[in-house]
Structure 1
Amino acid sequence: MSIVVVGGGVVGLACALDLRRAGADVLLIDEGAGPSASWGNAGHIAIEQVEPIASMKALRSAPTRWFPRGGALDFRFADILSWGGWAGRYVQACAPDAFDHGKAALGALLADAIPAWRRLAAAAGRPDLLSERGHIVVWESLASAEKGRAAWGAADIGQARTRDLRGVELLEVASRLAVAPAGGLRFENSGQISDPGLALRTLRDAFVALGGTIRSARVTALRLEGGRAVVALDDGEAPRADQIVLAAGVGSGRLMRGLGHVAPIVAERGYHIEGEVLEGDGRAWGDLPPVVFEDRSMIVTRFGDRLRAASFVEFARQDSPADPRKWARLHRHVGALGLPMAASRSQWMGARPTLPDYLPAIGVSRRASNLIYAFGHQHLGLTLAATTGEIVTALAGGGAAAVDLAPFDLDRFAPGAARRAKEIAA
């Protein structure tokens, strides 16, 4: 069986490697347009993020999280045509019944995220890619600590567990900072990828070592011929295959719309800064797991000899210029906290592929019999990459996925889909 996988991010690579291990003849098409969200993320395996961001809680809190007021949420109003329609769908997805439906769906998908990453890392020959030391959340005032603990206590966090940071543990975190935290939580059962860039290289190398083929090209369109999808490349070629897997992040929306699918995906952009870890200054970072500074909406992760600080949820066109104010704020946070990060730092901006209900799209196209899609993983692309790869391999082999894929069917966005769902439920 021959398969073309479109998309060279972590989801596409996980799919390609798993398909190749299952014996398929796999061609991976990677546009190679630069470091993507797969590379620039915080490395956090976020199994605690069971509750979709499409919620009444998130909607009500949006004004307090707006960037001009010090928060991480921002909208590029010059790009409103790219996200305005999406925002209307998002508001609808925040309805309590839709939220409950989404939470159950995400919970089922996240349940196997850590075991699936163990299997994927082992298959790639690098089990050390996955670290299972949990993560830490801290607050800088007693008021925010009290509020934060209550919020997490009331949240559904799936298989993750929390406990208060007390005594020695809290002092250990405080010793790394110029600002001592007023309180914190230790999350257990979550994990970290040791280095997202290394993970991408490792998956690519393992795929090639197994006989997989990678081609650098841009997919200009998916065409429908005789009820089947055909890939069109920018060099005029159209590689044929028994099946096509679409895992092209934000670009998946354009390609699916070309087949007549409704795919309301948006670029939800994040930013990071990164610098060498400073040792021996009295506040060395050591081997702390990822630390979330909730008051600043920032997560800090160590990757080898470098420290990365990441934040922001910015709605804009994928190719709009980066906003330097975001990086400037990250630099200020790093300075205010006294993080041991060298002054020479790199800066990155990338787009998370996000659908209005904050659920990914995973399934088989009803318009093209040979097309499997797997995109729209929002903040959970790294977290769910291994699980998604296994699901796609099962679908490609004609089998059933380990979870119910109905909530992730892209046709949930088709005209009249909501009405039909209510009629079925009644």
Structure 2
Amino acid sequence: MKAAGTAVIGGGIVGTACALALRRAGEDVLLIDPRRDSPPASFGNAGHIAVEQVEPLASPTALASAPRRLFGLGGALDFRLADVGTWAPWVARYVAASTAERAGRGRAALGGLLADALPAWRRLAASLGRPDLVIEQGHLVVWETSDAARKGLAAWREADIGTASLSTLDDAGLRRVARQVKPPLVGGVRFDGTAQVSDPGGALRLLGEAFEAEGGRRLVASVARLAPAGRGVQAVLDSGERVAAGRILVAGGVGSGPLMRSLGHVAPVIAERGYHLEGGAGGWADLPPVVFEDRSLILTRFGDRLRAASFVEFCRDGAPPDPAKWARLHHHLAALGISLQGEVRQWSGARPTLPDYLPAIGASRRADNLYYAFGHQHLGLTLAATTGEITARLMAGKPVDLAPFDLDRFASGRDKTTRKDT
């Protein structure tokens, strides 16, 4: 049996940020990292610190737009038919969550988290001695058709974008992007107050190195389940060995769902998969991230590499990637006249998404020593630094208002009966 003061389950950006914050708070921390064959979403995302994404993706507007965004119609949204048994119950919960009232509550909850997302990243980067890790040059959204520009601009002007600001892209700015692509661009907007990391994989590596340099311990292993032990729980590894810890934090992305369910929690997290292609940037200018909204495509430059990312694919965790997604990315790049240089790498990874598109952050009522921080959907990178700080405060017993993120919001009736109450 292994022992630790605090065990953190999950080696992605959220789990590693939490482990580092807890170690810096003086905890004896063991980070249990599954190290899967496919790097996590925190490695393969667009690198965008998306503080403008205050509007929840569970809303009447998003629900109504879903049919025209389907992959079969040229959009980025796909539901793998072979995995209907996995996503159909999730979709039913998503529809139930997509009311005006719940979207309003979600907007307020996300807005509160996102307001500190970029300041927290600044603090974290400075503490690593790497302020260059965060690049604050905003991002651009452009349109290729007049209809898309008209509708897109109207939608963004009506949206709650939190601490970010929005301005119409002037002619010079639009020409700068237009020179990089073949199709004419008819309009665009600039967001200020957003940012990117210089390299998502590098950011994850730096956090891990800092954690270990400050005395944190890493165990490369997978956790099979959580097992009751008195009024708390222990982590049972795939090998059968147990990890006894004073406290356990589940921050394992999509894998957090089965772990929480093994203890009786209702945790409807699903694998919402994204894809990317990455190669040499070639002649691509040193632009901030550019969203081609007609194509649901974002291009981000990381040094001498250029990454094209897209897709919202619902499937079971561990399902094989769909080559048609990479083919569509190649098609978009060819249509835009963008050529990735040298070796072109392809990646797919699962975003952990709950039906109301809010993360789950809090303390379990079923075990005295169990905490959780997962389900950050498209905002895992964005919210990693602030989630680490929040979790460290929570586990230190300091007051933190996390009511909107309580996992028991998905439970009802007997599911809400707690171990402490029985």
TM bin (shorter chain): over 0.9
TM-score (norm 1): 0.95
Report what 1:373 is aligned to: 372
Report what 2:303 is aligned to: 304
Partner Cα distance (1:84, 1:288) in 2: 40
3-state SS of paired residue (1:51): coil
- Are residue 175 (structure 1) and residue 171 (structure 2) matched? no
Pick one of 3, 6, 15 that aligns with 1:3: 6
Partner Cα distance (2:339, 2:116) in 1: 35
Pick one of 203, 215, 231 that aligns with 1:211: 215
Structure 1 residues 4, 303: closer, same or farther in 2, change over 3 A?
A: same
Using the TM superposition, give the Cα deviation of residue 128 of structure 1 relative to its aligned residue in structure 2, in angstroms.
Answer: 1.0
Pick one of 181, 187, 190 that aligns with 1:186: 190
The one-letter code of the counterpart of 2:285 is G
Is the Cα contact below 8 Å between 2:261 and 2:267 reproduced in 1?
yes
The one-letter code of the counterpart of 1:384 is L
Structure 1 unpaired stretches of 5+:
279-283, 420-426
Report what 1:390 is aligned to: 389
Using the TM superposition, give the Cα deviation of residue 174 of structure 1 relative to its aligned residue in structure 2, in angstroms.
Answer: 1.0
TM-score (norm 2): 0.96
Partner Cα distance (1:215, 1:162) in 2: 44
Using the TM superposition, give the Cα deviation of residue 180 of structure 1 relative to its aligned residue in structure 2, in angstroms.
Answer: 2.7
Partner Cα distance (2:218, 2:184) in 1: 48
Using the TM superposition, give the Cα deviation of residue 125 of structure 1 relative to its aligned residue in structure 2, in angstroms.
Answer: 2.3
Q: Deviations over 1:282-321 (max 9, x none)?
A: xx22220100000000000011111000000011012111
- Are residue 252 (structure 1) and residue 247 (structure 2) matched? no
Using the TM superposition, give the Cα deviation of residue 244 of structure 1 relative to its aligned residue in structure 2, in angstroms.
Answer: 0.7
Report what 2:409 is aligned to: 412
Report what 2:19 is aligned to: 16
3-state SS of paired residue (1:240): strand
Partner Cα distance (1:358, 1:416) in 2: 23
Using the TM superposition, give the Cα deviation of residue 274 of structure 1 relative to its aligned residue in structure 2, in angstroms.
Answer: 0.6
Partner Cα distance (2:281, 2:52) in 1: 28
Partner Cα distance (1:286, 1:129) in 2: 20
Using the TM superposition, give the Cα deviation of residue 418 of structure 1 relative to its aligned residue in structure 2, in angstroms.
Answer: 12
Pick one of 96, 108, 116 that aligns with 2:112: 108
Matched length: 413
Which region of structure 1 is more displaced relative to structure 2, 117-126 or 199-208? Answer: 117-126
The one-letter code of the counterpart of 2:20 is L
Using the TM superposition, give the Cα deviation of residue 417 of structure 1 relative to its aligned residue in structure 2, in angstroms.
Answer: 9.8
Report what 2:142 is aligned to: 138
Runs of 4+ with deviation above 3 angstroms: 416-419
Q: Identity rate of aligned residues, in percent? A: 61
Structure 2 unpaired stretches of 5+:
417-422
Using the TM superposition, give the Cα deviation of residue 408 of structure 1 relative to its aligned residue in structure 2, in angstroms.
Answer: 0.2
Partner Cα distance (1:128, 1:209) in 2: 20
Report what 1:281 is aligned to: none
Which region of structure 1 is more displaced relative to structure 2, 28-37 or 116-125? Answer: 116-125
3-state SS of paired residue (1:85): helix
Partner Cα distance (2:127, 2:221) in 1: 27
3-state SS of paired residue (1:239): strand
Q: Deviations over 1:76-111 (max 9, x none)?
A: 111111111111010000011111011100000100
Q: Deviations over 1:270-290 (max 9, x none)?
A: 111111111xxxxx2222010
Is the Cα contact below 8 Å between 1:138 and 1:183 reproduced in 2?
yes
Using the TM superposition, give the Cα deviation of residue 339 of structure 1 relative to its aligned residue in structure 2, in angstroms.
Answer: 1.9
The one-letter code of the counterpart of 1:23 is G
RMSD, matched Cα: 1.5
Using the TM superposition, give the Cα deviation of residue 126 of structure 1 relative to its aligned residue in structure 2, in angstroms.
Answer: 1.5
Using the TM superposition, give the Cα deviation of residue 324 of structure 1 relative to its aligned residue in structure 2, in angstroms.
Answer: 0.7
Pick one of 62, 66, 69 that aligns with 2:66: 62
Report what 2:289 is aligned to: 290
Using the TM superposition, give the Cα deviation of residue 261 of structure 1 relative to its aligned residue in structure 2, in angstroms.
Answer: 0.4
The one-letter code of the counterpart of 2:33 is D
